[in-house]
Chains A and B, each alone.
Chain A
Amino acid sequence: MESMIQFDNVTKQYPGSPTPAVNSLTIAVPEGETCVVIGPSGCGKTTAMKMVNRLIEPTSGAIFVGGRNILKQNVIELRRSIGYVIQQIGLFPHFTIRENIALVPEMLGWSQARRLRRADELLDVVGLDPAQFRDRYPRQLSGGQRQRVGVARALAADPPVMLMDEPFGAIDPITRDRLQNEFLRLQKQLRKTIMFVTHDIDEALKMGTLICILQVGGDLQQIDSPKTILSQPANSFVADFVGSDRGLKKLTLVRVSETMQTNPTVGSYDEPTADLVVRMRQHEMDSVFIVDDQHKLVGYVALEAAQAHSGRAADVLSPVIATTEEEATMRDAFSAMLSYGIRFLPVLNSHQQLTGLVSADDAQGLIRQSHPAALAR
Chain B
Amino acid sequence: MENLVEFLISIKDGLLYYVPGVGRPDRVLEFLAGHLLITLVTLVFAILISIPLGILITRVEWLYEPVIKLTGMLYTVPSFAMFGLLVPIVGIGFKPAIVALTLYSLLAIVRNTAVGINGIDQAIIEAARGMGMRDRAILLKVELPLALPVIFAGIRIATVSTISLATLASFFGADSLGSLIFEGISAGGTRNDKIVAGAIGAAFLAIVFDAIVSRIERVLPGSVAR
Q: Using CB atoms and an 8 Å cutoff, list the residues of chain A in contact with chain B.
A: 50, 53, 55, 75-80, 84, 86, 88-94, 103-104, 107, 137, 139, 153, 163
Contact = CB atoms under 8 A, between A and B. Distances in A.
Contacts of A76: 132, 134
A68 B222 CA distance: 39
Given A86-B126, A92-B142, A139-B226, 4 more contacts: A79-B130, A86-B130, A94-B145, A103-B133
List the 6 closest pairs (A to B, CB-CB), nearest first: A90-B127, A93-B225, A79-B132, A88-B123, A80-B132, A84-B130
Contact of A94 (B129, B130, B134, B225): B225
B80 to A, nearest CB: 44
A94 B132 contact: no
Contact of B121 (A77, A80, A84, A90): A90
Nearest to B133: A107
Contacts of A89: 123, 127
A94 B127 CA distance: 14
A167 to B, nearest CB: 12
A94 B121 contact: no
Contacts of B203: none
Contacts of A137: 224-225
A91 B132 CA distance: 14
Interface residues of chain B: helix, strand, loop or mixed (majority):
helix
- Most chain A beta-carbon neighbours within 10 Å: one of B121, B128, B146, B224: B224
Interface string B87-102: 0000000000000000
30 contacts: A50-B130, A55-B129, A75-B132, A76-B132, A76-B134, A77-B132, A79-B132, A80-B131, A84-B127, A84-B131, A86-B123, A88-B121, A89-B123, A90-B123, A90-B124, A91-B127, A92-B124, A92-B127, A92-B128, A93-B224, A93-B225, A94-B222, A94-B224, A103-B131, A103-B133, A104-B132, A107-B131, A107-B137, A139-B225, A163-B130
Nearest to B222: A94
A354 B197 CA distance: 81
Given A93-B224, A94-B221, A86 B132 contact: no
Contacts of B124: 90-93
B51 to A, nearest CB: 18
Nearest to A79: B132
Nearest to A88: B123
A239 to B, nearest CB: 35
Interface in B111-169: 121, 123-124, 126-134, 137, 142, 145-146
Contacts of A77: 132
Interface string B211-226: 0000000000110111
Contacts of A79: 129-132
Contact of A78 (B128, B132, B133, B145): B132
A212 to B, nearest CB: 20
Contacts of B145: 94
Contacts of B127: 84, 86, 89-92
A251 B180 CA distance: 87
B125 to A, nearest CB: 8
Contact of B126 (A55, A78, A103): A55
Contacts of A50: 130
